[in-house]
Chains A and B, each alone.
Chain A
Amino acid sequence: MSVQLRTPSLTLLVTLGAWLLAIIWVSPLLYAVWTAFHPPAYAARFELFAPLTLDNFARVWNAAPFARYFLNTFMLVTLILVCQFVVCTMAAYAFVCFPFRGSNVLFMIVLLQLMIMPEVLLVENYRTLSKLGLLDTITGMALPYLASAFGIFLFRQTFKSVPKELEEAARLEGAGPIQVLLRVFVPIAKPTYVAYGLVTVSYHWNNFLWPLVVSNSVQTRPITVGLQVFATVEQGIDWSLVTAATMLSVAPLLIAFLIFQRQFVQSFVRAGIR
């Protein structure tokens, strides 16, 4: 549906409203960007020709192990993404192609995790990790998220739309269950994998509370926790440093978003609408 605004005055009003809201919306971000790229003397002062500098970023980069934090986040997100793909694909395939008595009830029980996410259970999950000896490890940080009800749900929906004939044709050619999955179902579900992948990457790149509780050293801390540790130490002293650190830590995801904006938005919609 495209709304035709026929009266020019109304069009102008709506345009102004839209732009005003947009400007309000980006102003906190732009204010932080301004401070991050200018010397501390211009931290909260606007002068059009104030000298630009990358000095704040250099100081931040040298003050805390941000490279290591990025590596940790990268490892955490990769581990979660790969395992979620495998675990959720297998489970969804079972629900669609190998139904047994009670599998529908089982599916409903799985969906419970949509409501009660691992963060809410952090006290018990912490206890479990400590029993397993996995505190302060990236594996431990990833474990509660590896089986995602959301992923199982999404893949199941997609697999259900695969025509039965394709599946049977593959089977007649002598393909076993795993081959059918890999040759028929997974290729058809490719857009769903991309959509789910983007959603899960941005979720876990940004995740904070659980990693904060589990990680306790530079070797495991992801970027969000690293930023928090850095900002707590610097807090209120040097805004140039805090904003530069913030911009630095959001840069990879933000740049990726600005480049692949359309795919991001479509993925979120595709993952949400079902």
Chain B
Amino acid sequence: MTASRNALYGALLLLPAAVLLWVFTYQPILATLGNSLYSTPRGRRASVFVGLDHYQTMIADPVFWKALTNNAIYALTTIPLSMALALAMALFVNAKLRGQGLVRMAYFTPTVLPMVAVANIWMFFYAPDYGLVDQVLGLFGGGGNNLLGSKETALGALIVITIWKEAGFFMIFYLAALQQISPTLIEAAELEGASRRQIFRRVTLPLLMPTTLFISINAVIGAVRLVDHVIAMTKGGPDNATVLLLFYVYQVGFAFWDTGYAAALTAVLLVMLALIALFQFGYADKRVHYR
């Protein structure tokens, strides 16, 4: 087949995807960057070019910094903890125990629930006096806690929920990876007299590195993308203790209707995601492909 016919068929087949991706991914990326330099149109006042005004506002905006720190804390706790738990779960399930199927189901079920439903389940679980958490705390003489309502504990409460929902999802990837490790490798290590701990550290863990990278990229995207529980449980409160970046974008864009500022905030998110992508393609891929 000739090159020009290839190009024609290729172009026709790609057309729907190209149009959709342009309109809903690439065009909005460019428009976000552009609109972040314009004021928000209000009533009869059209938007005017304001240069970097929005970014100056952002630097002076304590809520933005709060959202940024919250998001950093949120990512740096949920990601390692849920991945460590996921690995533990995978090792448990892989160890061929009694009731293995039930255990795996228990770990994985939260994953298929929508975050909004998870939020409702946990709101009840956390509820002061009613919830199981508070009842258990009450046994130790510390009842009457409003975990979601106090500044000190609200973000932690959301972190726990995220770990609960994500760990089981990550577990299945570790489980699949564990099942692909050849038993001869383990046997060889045993013949050499390696202890179980040595085998885990020197054989199993390195072989799980590609999976770990894959999961961590997914986890990072999740930590940026998923704010359903913030909307359903705390609305960013109390006193902005649970504001995450995308939630702040949503709030500025659809509660305050300040679309210009929302565009600037989105631009920051885009830059962060781009940096993560560069890290993945450049640095991390090289470190992991040792085989």
Contact of A121 among B13, B25, B123, B232 (CB under 8 A): B25
Interface size grouping (class) on chain A: 35 or more
- Mark out the residues of chain A between 116 and 151 whose CB falls within 8 Å of any chain B CB in the assembled complex: 116-128, 143-144, 146-147, 149
Contact A206 B95 (CB under 8 A): no
Q: Name the distance in Å between A190's Cβ and chain B's nearest Cβ.
A: 20
Contact of A29 among B110, B129, B172, B180 (CB under 8 A): B110
The number of chain B residues with a CB under 8 A from chain A is: 102
Residue B121 at the chain A interface, CB threshold 8 Å: yes
* A213 and B250 in contact, given A32-B125, A120-B224 (Cβ under 8 angstroms): yes
Chain A hits for B276, CB < 8 A: 115
* A87 and B97 in contact, given A31-B125, A99-B10, A119-B246 (Cβ under 8 angstroms): no
Determine the distance from Cα of A235 to Cα of B266 in the docked complex, in whole angstroms: 31
Residue B83 at the chain A interface, CB threshold 8 Å: no
Chain B hits for A15, CB < 8 A: 97-98
Q: Mark B184-224, 1 if CB is under 8 A from A, else 0.
A: 01100000000000000000100000000010001001001
Interface segment among A49-57, A60-68, A256-264: the answer is: A256-264
Determine the distance from Cα of A116 to Cα of B273 in the docked complex, in whole angstroms: 7
Chain B hits for A109, CB < 8 A: 26
Chain A hits for B59, CB < 8 A: none
For A209, the closest partner residue in chain B by CB is B228
Contact of A123 among B7, B13, B204, B253 (CB under 8 A): B253
Contact A98 B95 (CB under 8 A): no
- Mark out the residues of chain B between 122 and 165 whose CB falls within 8 Å of any chain A CB in the assembled complex: 122-125, 127, 129-132, 135, 164
In the complex, 22 of the A-B residue pairs with CB atoms within 8 angstroms, ordered by the A residue number, are A1-B185, A14-B97, A15-B97, A22-B102, A26-B109, A31-B124, A87-B20, A91-B14, A98-B7, A115-B273, A119-B225, A121-B25, A122-B250, A128-B23, A149-B21, A207-B114, A209-B227, A224-B116, A227-B116, A231-B232, A246-B121, A261-B105
The chain B residues found within 8 Å of chain A, CB to CB, are 3, 6-7, 9-11, 13-14, 16-18, 20-21, 23-29, 31-32, 35, 85, 88-89, 91-99, 102-110, 112-117, 120-125, 127, 129-132, 135, 164, 168-169, 172-173, 175-176, 178-183, 185-186, 204, 214, 218, 221, 224-225, 227-228, 231-232, 246, 249-250, 253-254, 259, 262-263, 266, 269-270, 273-274, 276-277
Beyond A100-B10, A115-B274, list 9 extra A-B contacts (CB 8 Å). A14-B95, A14-B97, A93-B13, A98-B13, A116-B29, A120-B246, A121-B29, A128-B28, A246-B121
